[in-house]
């Protein structure tokens, strides 16, 4: 019970910290305070991609060691990554709708956003993640499901790499990396750290929950 409470508390602290920093993010010329949502979304994306890498490492660890602890961490990270990616995908579309200048467009905003490679790939990765989550309906083999996790992460990074280099992208370049202001980069880094703390807390919470489920089943 204590471990679950601590994990839940860490999740809340990380989430609230990232939100507080986002709300303190200085307005910029053109977007004003509307820049806060895309910056928050960007920080969440960075943190989630780090969690993707952690899932890849833990999946390889499980294939090498085949321990229950490794499998519980893999399962916890899988759900954590996909939960954050779902939230991030929704925020990405909301941020695009609120900040992109679509006033002169003849097509609907949703159709235009659907033509942007980066937004489309977010949805594609989410769909791939849903397929991974349905793997227990196909097989109970932990080895096969772990290989599926590895394939999912590799495919996700490959698709993201393609989307980042797509010439027809409507998504603007990162204002953080292009900014000469140190404060902006520091605030963004603080948001990334806050999200990482929340991810660690959520994964730990799911790890503990998975352990309780396994002990109850035996």
Q: What is the DSSP letter of 25?
A: S
- Count the residues in the chain: 218
Domain positions in the chain: 2-217
The 3-state DSSP class for residue 66 equals coil
Distances (CA, A) of 136 to 32, 141, 143, 180, 185: 47, 8, 12, 48, 42
Whether the pLDDT of residue 212 is over 70: the answer is: yes
Give the separation between CA 163 and CA 169, rounded to whole angstroms: 8
Give the separation between CA 101 and CA 61, rounded to whole angstroms: 46
C-alpha 112 chain-centroid distance: 23
| Mean pLDDT rounded to a whole number for the chain | 87
Q: What is the pLDDT of residues 130-169, one digit of tens each?
A: 999 999 999 999 999 999 999 999 999 999 998 888 765 5
Give the separation between CA 107 and CA 101, rounded to whole angstroms: 13
Token pair, residue 218, equals 């035996």
Q: What is the DSSP letter of 180?
A: -
Q: What is the pLDDT of residues 74-102, one digit of tens each?
A: 999 999 999 999 999 999 888 887 776 65
Whether the pLDDT of residue 113 is over 90: the answer is: no
Give the separation between CA 79 and CA 85, rounded to whole angstroms: 10
Token pair, residue 103, equals 């006033």
Look up the pTM and report it: 0.89
């Amino acid at each position: 019970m204590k471990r679950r409470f601590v994990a839940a508390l860490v999740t809340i602290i990380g989430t609230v910290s990232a939100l507080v920093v986002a709300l303190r993010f200085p307005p910029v010329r053109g977007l004003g305070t509307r820049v806060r949502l895309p910056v928050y979304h960007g920080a969440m994306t960075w943190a989630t991609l780090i969690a993707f890498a952690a899932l890849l490492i833990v999946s390889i660890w499980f294939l090498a060691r085949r321990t229950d602890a490794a499998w519980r961490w893999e399962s916890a990270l899988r759900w954590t990554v996909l939960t954050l990616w779902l939230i991030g995908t929704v925020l990405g579309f909301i941020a695009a709708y609120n900040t992109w200048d679509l006033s002169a467009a003849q097509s609907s905003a949703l159709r235009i956003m659907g033509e942007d490679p980066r937004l489309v790939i977010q949805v594609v990765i989410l769909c791939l993640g849903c397929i991974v989550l349905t793997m227990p309906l196909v097989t109970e083999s932990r080895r096969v499901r772990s290989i599926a996790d590895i394939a999912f992460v590799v495919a996700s990074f490959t698709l993201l790499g393609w989307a980042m280099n797509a010439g027809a992208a409507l998504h603007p370049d990162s204002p953080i990396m292009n900014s000469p202001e140190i404060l902006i980069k520091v605030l963004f880094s603080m948001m990334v750290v806050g999200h990482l703390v929340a991810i660690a807390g959520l994964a730990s919470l799911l790890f503990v929950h998975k352990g309780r489920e396994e002990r109850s089943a035996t």
